[in-house]
Amino acid sequence: MHTSVAEVAGAAKAAAGFDVALGVSAALRNFKAPDKLGFGLVAAPVMFSAVWTDGAWGRGELVPYGPIEILPGARALQYAELVFEGLKAYKVGAAGPSLFRPRENWQRLKRSAERLSMPVVSEALFFEAVEAIVGACHRCIPQESGRSLYLRPFLFGTEAGYLLRNSTTFRFMVIANPVEIYSSGPMRVAIERDDVRAAVGGVGTAKAAANYAASLRASNAAVARGLTVALWLDAREQRFIQELSGMNLFAVIGGELHTPALDGAILPGVTRDSLITLARHLGLVVHERAMAIDELLAQILSGECTEVFACGTAAILSPIGQLTDRDRREYVPNKIDAVAAQLREALLAIQERRAADPFGWTREVAPLAL
């Protein structure tokens, strides 16, 4: 049973094109976040769902958060026909909520869907969904610096069958979680010399769930060695740095910033792009280039490379305390979280609207009275 959002929220929301299920208001009213949020452990009380059938998207729906039904034979489960996004809503430096560069996430979701031959979620549907979640959950958005509402839009094939072709039915959903920053403290990175994450021409540039599954064996091996995360090298020569499993890498070399150029296999991070723009704006020289791992290790040993860090939506910007090679040799940069701390604060201040936003990156979202 559903009412339209216009009936629930009044004339101001009359243009909205999605339905609101019964139970949404109660779910929002009854939600109380615990003090400890973790990352993805606490679910926001509502979620958005739209279904693709007969070649078109149906009307979206805001429903209470909970389990969904999916056929066991669905292509998403059988053939990993699933792409996703991650973006954050903030409510620290201003009374109302805002999103950070959401259009970049829509564009990447579009590219991911195209790479997997899935239907594109239109820009209008994407914004309807993320703004419905942020607007409805505005009271669930943490107000402490460093905390936010993490949004997880995802698109998956729901048709059952083993024929190796795309599903003809899909579902687009957005779930959300009030979160703390994904990781804290310097990471201990394991250089992965055996497995590869992605090859040029593969799906590395798409935010395909399968990429993350493919990274887990190396992550587990790293953790078993007392390290934090694996660092991936290119698939052809295992020579050039690509990325960490869910973050892009930067190094400070000779006082300038260096990051691997997008090589056709690296995921183009929104935070990576934001940092490059912001660092240049702050007067730093930034190089996007092919970075050989052995060269970086030599530069750490010589002291020319003073600092290494990683960035991503979840972690924002996370220092790297050491890189460890297969032979267990450790490479420790002289500095940890020096340039990185300055960039993190500069970026976070824009994201949280504690500082001016010279790039027009933040997008305010109207709270919904549901």
The residues binding ligand COI (CB under 6 A) are: 86, 182, 246, 312-314
**What are the CA-CA distances from residue 89 to residues 10, 66, 278 (Å)?**
24, 21, 20
Given the complex with ligand COI, which of 204 and 312 has the nearer CB atom? 312
What gap in Å lies between CA 344 and CA 252, rounded to an integer? 14
What gap in Å lies between CA 151 and CA 212, rounded to an integer? 17
Given the complex with ligand COI, which of 45 and 312 has the nearer CB atom? 312
**Least Å from the CB of residue 176 to ligand COI:** 12
Q: Which candidate, 365, 369, 370, places its Cα nearest to that of 90?
A: 365
**Least Å from the CB of residue 114 to ligand COI:** 19
Burial of 169 (0-12, 13-18, 19+ CB in 10 A): middle
Q: Which candidate, 127, 246, 129, 126, places its Cα nearest to that of 189?
A: 246
**What are the CA-CA distances from residue 327 to residues 211, 233, 365 (Å)?**
26, 16, 50
**Least Å from the CB of residue 182 to ligand COI:** 6
* Residue-wise burial string across 191-202, b where 16 or more C-beta atoms lie within 10 A, e elsewhere: bbeebbbbeeeb
**Which residues are within 8 A (CB) of 103 and not within 5 positions of it... i.e. 6 or more apart?**
123, 363
**Least Å from the CB of residue 144 to ligand COI:** 20
Reading the block at residue 123, the tokens are: 């820009």
Would strands 148-157 and 98-100 be described as parallel, antiparallel, or unpaired? unpaired
What gap in Å lies between CA 260 and CA 241, rounded to an integer? 6
**Which residues are within 8 A (CB) of 284 and not within 5 positions of it... i.e. 6 or more apart?**
256, 257, 339
**Least Å from the CB of residue 21 to ligand COI:** 27
Given the complex with ligand COI, which of 86 and 319 has the nearer CB atom? 86
Reading the block at residue 318, the tokens are: 């996370």
**Least Å from the CB of residue 197 to ligand COI:** 12
Reading the block at residue 15, the tokens are: 């243009």
Given the complex with ligand COI, which of 202 and 246 has the nearer CB atom? 246
**Least Å from the CB of residue 12 to ligand COI:** 31
Given the complex with ligand COI, which of 142 and 246 has the nearer CB atom? 246
**Least Å from the CB of residue 312 to ligand COI:** 4
Reading the block at residue 324, the tokens are: 């460890």
What gap in Å lies between CA 25 and CA 7, rounded to an integer? 13
CB 368 within 8 A of CB 20: no
Given the complex with ligand COI, which of 20 and 340 has the nearer CB atom? 340
**Least Å from the CB of residue 40 to ligand COI:** 8
Reading the block at residue 94, the tokens are: 């201003």
Helix (H) or strand (E) holding 63: strand 60-64
Given the complex with ligand COI, which of 104 and 128 has the nearer CB atom? 104
**Least Å from the CB of residue 57 to ligand COI:** 24
